[in-house]
Amino acid sequence: MKRSCILFAVTAVAACLVSVSARAQMRPEYTEVWEPKPAVVTPGNPATGGAPSDAIILFDGGGLDAWICAKDGGPAKWPVKDGILTVDKSAGDIHTKETFGSYQLHIEWCVPPMDEAFAGQGRGNSGVYLQVGHYELQILDSYQHETYVNGQAGSIYKQTAPLVNAMLPPGQWNVYDIIYNAPIFNEDGTFRLPPRVTVLHNGVVIQNGAVIYGNTRYLGLPDVAPHGDCRIGLQAHGDRSPAISFRNIWIRRL
Protein backbone atom coordinates (compact mmCIF):
# COMPACT_ATOMS: atom_id res chain seq x y z
CA MET A 1 0.00 0.00 0.00
CA LYS A 2 2.79 2.40 0.93
CA ARG A 3 4.67 1.63 -2.31
CA SER A 4 1.52 2.33 -4.38
CA CYS A 5 1.04 5.69 -2.66
CA ILE A 6 4.63 6.68 -3.36
CA LEU A 7 4.27 5.66 -7.03
CA PHE A 8 1.07 7.68 -7.36
CA ALA A 9 2.71 10.75 -5.82
CA VAL A 10 5.73 10.48 -8.14
CA THR A 11 3.42 10.16 -11.18
CA ALA A 12 1.39 13.20 -10.12
CA VAL A 13 4.52 15.32 -9.62
CA ALA A 14 5.84 14.24 -13.04
CA ALA A 15 2.53 15.21 -14.71
CA CYS A 16 2.63 18.58 -12.97
CA LEU A 17 6.18 19.20 -14.16
CA VAL A 18 5.18 18.34 -17.74
CA SER A 19 2.23 20.76 -17.48
CA VAL A 20 4.45 23.54 -16.16
CA SER A 21 6.98 22.84 -18.92
CA ALA A 22 4.25 22.94 -21.58
CA ARG A 23 2.94 26.26 -20.30
CA ALA A 24 6.44 27.65 -20.38
CA GLN A 25 6.52 26.99 -24.13
CA MET A 26 3.16 28.71 -24.74
CA ARG A 27 2.68 32.15 -26.26
CA PRO A 28 -0.41 34.35 -25.75
CA GLU A 29 -1.38 34.11 -29.43
CA TYR A 30 -1.66 30.30 -29.19
CA THR A 31 -5.02 30.70 -27.42
CA GLU A 32 -6.34 33.70 -29.36
CA VAL A 33 -9.24 33.13 -31.78
CA TRP A 34 -9.73 35.75 -34.53
CA GLU A 35 -12.20 34.14 -36.93
CA PRO A 36 -15.09 33.99 -37.56
CA LYS A 37 -15.95 37.46 -36.31
CA PRO A 38 -19.35 37.93 -34.61
CA ALA A 39 -21.89 39.85 -36.67
CA VAL A 40 -22.21 43.53 -35.78
CA VAL A 41 -25.59 44.41 -34.23
CA THR A 42 -26.66 47.93 -33.37
CA PRO A 43 -28.46 47.83 -30.01
CA GLY A 44 -31.84 49.43 -29.55
CA ASN A 45 -32.48 52.11 -26.96
CA PRO A 46 -32.96 50.22 -23.66
CA ALA A 47 -34.91 53.12 -22.21
CA THR A 48 -37.65 52.68 -24.82
CA GLY A 49 -37.33 48.96 -25.50
CA GLY A 50 -36.07 49.79 -28.95
CA ALA A 51 -35.32 46.84 -31.20
CA PRO A 52 -31.74 45.85 -32.14
CA SER A 53 -30.84 46.11 -35.80
CA ASP A 54 -31.17 42.36 -36.41
CA ALA A 55 -34.59 42.01 -34.78
CA ILE A 56 -37.77 40.93 -36.54
CA ILE A 57 -40.46 43.47 -35.74
CA LEU A 58 -43.69 41.73 -34.74
CA PHE A 59 -45.61 44.85 -33.73
CA ASP A 60 -44.41 48.47 -33.67
CA GLY A 61 -47.73 50.27 -33.44
CA GLY A 62 -48.73 49.81 -37.06
CA GLY A 63 -50.57 46.90 -38.61
CA LEU A 64 -50.68 43.20 -37.82
CA ASP A 65 -48.93 41.93 -40.93
CA ALA A 66 -46.76 39.61 -38.81
CA TRP A 67 -49.79 37.88 -37.23
CA ILE A 68 -52.64 35.57 -38.17
CA CYS A 69 -55.92 34.61 -36.51
CA ALA A 70 -55.51 31.28 -34.71
CA LYS A 71 -59.09 30.26 -35.49
CA ASP A 72 -58.96 30.32 -39.26
CA GLY A 73 -55.41 31.28 -40.31
CA GLY A 74 -56.67 34.53 -41.81
CA PRO A 75 -55.61 38.07 -40.89
CA ALA A 76 -55.38 38.85 -37.19
CA LYS A 77 -58.47 40.73 -36.07
CA TRP A 78 -57.42 42.46 -32.84
CA PRO A 79 -57.88 46.25 -32.97
CA VAL A 80 -54.95 48.67 -33.16
CA LYS A 81 -55.42 52.24 -31.98
CA ASP A 82 -52.84 54.93 -31.22
CA GLY A 83 -50.03 52.39 -31.60
CA ILE A 84 -51.53 49.94 -29.11
CA LEU A 85 -52.80 46.43 -29.80
CA THR A 86 -55.78 45.33 -27.68
CA VAL A 87 -57.12 41.80 -27.27
CA ASP A 88 -60.44 41.03 -28.92
CA LYS A 89 -61.67 38.04 -26.92
CA SER A 90 -64.36 37.20 -29.44
CA ALA A 91 -61.76 36.92 -32.22
CA GLY A 92 -59.60 34.40 -30.36
CA ASP A 93 -55.83 34.04 -30.10
CA ILE A 94 -53.34 35.43 -32.58
CA HIS A 95 -50.20 33.65 -33.79
CA THR A 96 -47.10 34.82 -35.62
CA LYS A 97 -46.95 33.99 -39.31
CA GLU A 98 -43.36 32.82 -38.95
CA THR A 99 -42.22 29.87 -36.86
CA PHE A 100 -39.36 30.02 -34.39
CA GLY A 101 -37.03 27.77 -32.42
CA SER A 102 -34.77 29.44 -29.87
CA TYR A 103 -35.08 33.21 -29.60
CA GLN A 104 -34.97 36.45 -27.64
CA LEU A 105 -38.40 38.08 -27.38
CA HIS A 106 -39.33 41.54 -26.12
CA ILE A 107 -42.98 42.29 -25.40
CA GLU A 108 -44.79 45.00 -23.43
CA TRP A 109 -48.27 44.53 -21.96
CA CYS A 110 -50.74 46.48 -19.88
CA VAL A 111 -53.62 45.33 -17.69
CA PRO A 112 -56.26 48.11 -17.53
CA PRO A 113 -57.60 49.35 -14.20
CA MET A 114 -60.64 47.33 -13.18
CA ASP A 115 -63.14 46.76 -10.43
CA GLU A 116 -62.06 44.74 -7.40
CA ALA A 117 -64.87 42.31 -8.18
CA PHE A 118 -62.50 40.75 -10.71
CA ALA A 119 -60.18 38.40 -8.84
CA GLY A 120 -57.61 35.62 -9.14
CA GLN A 121 -57.34 34.19 -12.65
CA GLY A 122 -60.09 36.57 -13.75
CA ARG A 123 -57.95 39.73 -13.74
CA GLY A 124 -56.36 40.49 -17.11
CA ASN A 125 -55.66 36.87 -17.93
CA SER A 126 -53.60 36.26 -21.07
CA GLY A 127 -50.36 34.56 -21.98
CA VAL A 128 -47.41 34.30 -24.33
CA TYR A 129 -47.31 30.92 -26.04
CA LEU A 130 -43.55 30.40 -26.33
CA GLN A 131 -44.25 27.71 -28.92
CA VAL A 132 -47.91 27.40 -29.85
CA GLY A 133 -49.55 24.20 -28.73
CA HIS A 134 -46.90 23.53 -26.11
CA TYR A 135 -45.62 26.07 -23.57
CA GLU A 136 -47.22 29.16 -22.00
CA LEU A 137 -45.73 32.04 -20.03
CA GLN A 138 -48.55 33.52 -17.99
CA ILE A 139 -49.82 37.10 -18.14
CA LEU A 140 -52.13 38.24 -15.33
CA ASP A 141 -52.74 41.11 -12.92
CA SER A 142 -50.68 39.82 -10.00
CA TYR A 143 -50.23 43.23 -8.40
CA GLN A 144 -51.54 42.82 -4.85
CA HIS A 145 -53.97 40.15 -6.05
CA GLU A 146 -53.42 36.53 -5.11
CA THR A 147 -53.85 33.34 -7.09
CA TYR A 148 -51.96 30.04 -7.20
CA VAL A 149 -48.30 30.98 -7.56
CA ASN A 150 -47.63 28.77 -10.59
CA GLY A 151 -50.42 30.65 -12.33
CA GLN A 152 -49.49 34.24 -11.48
CA ALA A 153 -47.80 36.62 -13.89
CA GLY A 154 -44.38 35.36 -14.96
CA SER A 155 -45.08 31.71 -14.20
CA ILE A 156 -44.53 28.87 -16.61
CA TYR A 157 -48.19 28.07 -16.40
CA LYS A 158 -49.05 25.33 -13.88
CA GLN A 159 -45.34 24.44 -13.62
CA THR A 160 -42.87 26.97 -12.24
CA ALA A 161 -43.69 30.06 -10.17
CA PRO A 162 -41.65 33.23 -10.78
CA LEU A 163 -38.70 33.81 -8.43
CA VAL A 164 -40.22 37.15 -7.38
CA ASN A 165 -43.33 39.22 -8.14
CA ALA A 166 -42.18 42.23 -10.21
CA MET A 167 -45.66 43.28 -11.30
CA LEU A 168 -46.58 46.95 -11.81
CA PRO A 169 -50.07 48.27 -10.95
CA PRO A 170 -52.90 48.14 -13.49
CA GLY A 171 -52.68 50.94 -16.02
CA GLN A 172 -48.87 50.77 -16.16
CA TRP A 173 -46.87 48.97 -18.84
CA ASN A 174 -45.11 45.74 -17.91
CA VAL A 175 -42.17 44.40 -19.93
CA TYR A 176 -41.13 40.82 -20.56
CA ASP A 177 -37.69 40.10 -22.00
CA ILE A 178 -37.62 36.38 -22.76
CA ILE A 179 -34.66 34.17 -23.71
CA TYR A 180 -36.10 30.86 -24.84
CA ASN A 181 -34.11 27.72 -25.71
CA ALA A 182 -36.15 25.25 -27.72
CA PRO A 183 -36.03 21.54 -26.85
CA ILE A 184 -34.14 18.76 -28.60
CA PHE A 185 -35.87 15.39 -28.81
CA ASN A 186 -34.70 11.80 -28.78
CA GLU A 187 -35.90 9.45 -31.51
CA ASP A 188 -38.51 8.04 -29.13
CA GLY A 189 -40.05 11.51 -28.64
CA THR A 190 -38.68 12.14 -25.15
CA PHE A 191 -36.62 15.21 -24.30
CA ARG A 192 -32.93 14.91 -25.01
CA LEU A 193 -32.67 18.53 -23.84
CA PRO A 194 -35.86 20.06 -22.38
CA PRO A 195 -36.86 23.62 -23.22
CA ARG A 196 -35.49 26.27 -20.90
CA VAL A 197 -36.47 29.88 -20.42
CA THR A 198 -35.05 32.96 -18.75
CA VAL A 199 -37.47 35.84 -18.20
CA LEU A 200 -36.87 39.40 -17.05
CA HIS A 201 -40.04 41.13 -15.86
CA ASN A 202 -39.56 44.90 -15.75
CA GLY A 203 -35.80 44.30 -15.69
CA VAL A 204 -35.96 41.77 -12.83
CA VAL A 205 -35.00 38.12 -13.39
CA ILE A 206 -38.07 36.03 -12.54
CA GLN A 207 -37.19 32.80 -14.40
CA ASN A 208 -33.51 31.84 -14.49
CA GLY A 209 -32.86 29.14 -17.06
CA ALA A 210 -35.99 27.39 -15.82
CA VAL A 211 -36.70 23.94 -17.20
CA ILE A 212 -40.08 23.48 -18.89
CA TYR A 213 -41.16 19.94 -18.11
CA GLY A 214 -43.58 19.52 -20.99
CA ASN A 215 -46.74 20.97 -22.45
CA THR A 216 -48.42 23.41 -20.06
CA ARG A 217 -51.86 22.07 -19.16
CA TYR A 218 -54.83 23.61 -17.33
CA LEU A 219 -55.81 20.08 -16.29
CA GLY A 220 -53.29 17.37 -15.55
CA LEU A 221 -49.53 17.03 -15.48
CA PRO A 222 -47.16 18.16 -18.25
CA ASP A 223 -46.76 15.78 -21.16
CA VAL A 224 -44.12 15.71 -23.89
CA ALA A 225 -44.90 15.81 -27.61
CA PRO A 226 -42.05 16.17 -30.13
CA HIS A 227 -42.15 19.20 -32.41
CA GLY A 228 -39.99 21.48 -34.49
CA ASP A 229 -40.12 25.26 -34.85
CA CYS A 230 -43.52 26.69 -33.91
CA ARG A 231 -45.44 29.93 -34.08
CA ILE A 232 -45.53 32.27 -31.08
CA GLY A 233 -48.98 33.12 -29.77
CA LEU A 234 -50.83 35.71 -27.71
CA GLN A 235 -53.83 34.47 -25.78
CA ALA A 236 -57.35 35.86 -25.85
CA HIS A 237 -58.49 34.42 -22.54
CA GLY A 238 -62.18 33.96 -21.89
CA ASP A 239 -62.30 35.66 -18.48
CA ARG A 240 -64.79 38.50 -18.03
CA SER A 241 -62.29 41.23 -17.12
CA PRO A 242 -61.45 44.15 -19.45
CA ALA A 243 -59.10 43.24 -22.28
CA ILE A 244 -55.37 43.77 -21.91
CA SER A 245 -53.15 45.53 -24.46
CA PHE A 246 -49.74 45.02 -26.07
CA ARG A 247 -47.11 47.20 -27.73
CA ASN A 248 -43.49 47.09 -28.92
CA ILE A 249 -43.02 43.40 -29.78
CA TRP A 250 -39.81 42.22 -31.42
CA ILE A 251 -37.81 39.01 -31.66
CA ARG A 252 -34.29 37.82 -32.47
CA ARG A 253 -33.53 34.27 -33.57
CA LEU A 254 -30.81 32.54 -31.56
Percent of the chain at pLDDT above 70? Answer: 91
Residue 31 located in a structural domain: no
Residue 23 located in a structural domain: no
According to the model, what pLDDT value does residue 149 have? 98
Strands 233-234 and 94-96: antiparallel
Cα 198 → chain centroid:
6
Q: Is pLDDT above 50 for 180?
A: yes
For the chain, how many structural domains are there in total? 1
Q: Is pLDDT above 90 for 225?
A: yes
Residue 157 located in a structural domain: yes
Q: Cα-Cα-Cα-Cα dihedral of 29, 34, 35, 41, to 10°?
A: 160
Residue 79 located in a structural domain: yes
- Average of per-residue pLDDT values in the chain: 92
Measured CA to CA in angstroms, residue 115 lies from 90, 170, 236, 237, 242 at distances of: 21, 11, 20, 18, 10
Domain, as residue range, for 81: 56-253
Residue 24 located in a structural domain: no
Residue 17 located in a structural domain: no
Measured CA to CA in angstroms, residue 138 lies from 59, 70, 125, 196 at distances of: 20, 18, 8, 15
According to the model, what pLDDT value does residue 20 have? 60
Q: What is the mean pLDDT of residues 35-49?
A: 89
Residue 167 located in a structural domain: yes
* Pairs from 60-64 (Cβ < 8 Å, separation ≥ 24): 60/248, 60/249, 60/250, 61/247, 61/248, 64/94
Residue 11 located in a structural domain: no
Q: What is the mean pLDDT of residues 21-39?
A: 86
Please say whether the beta carbons of 163 and 155 come within 8 A.
Answer: no
Burial class from Cβ neighbours inside 10 Å (0-12, 13-18, 19+) for residue 207 reads buried
* Segment among 3-12, 91-100, 173-182, 205-214 with least mean pLDDT: 3-12
pLDDT tens by residue, 4-24? 555 445 455 444 544 666 677
According to the model, what pLDDT value does residue 7 have? 46
Q: Which CATH number belongs to the domain containing residue 177 in this structure?
A: 2.60.120.560
Q: Is pLDDT above 60 for 227?
A: yes
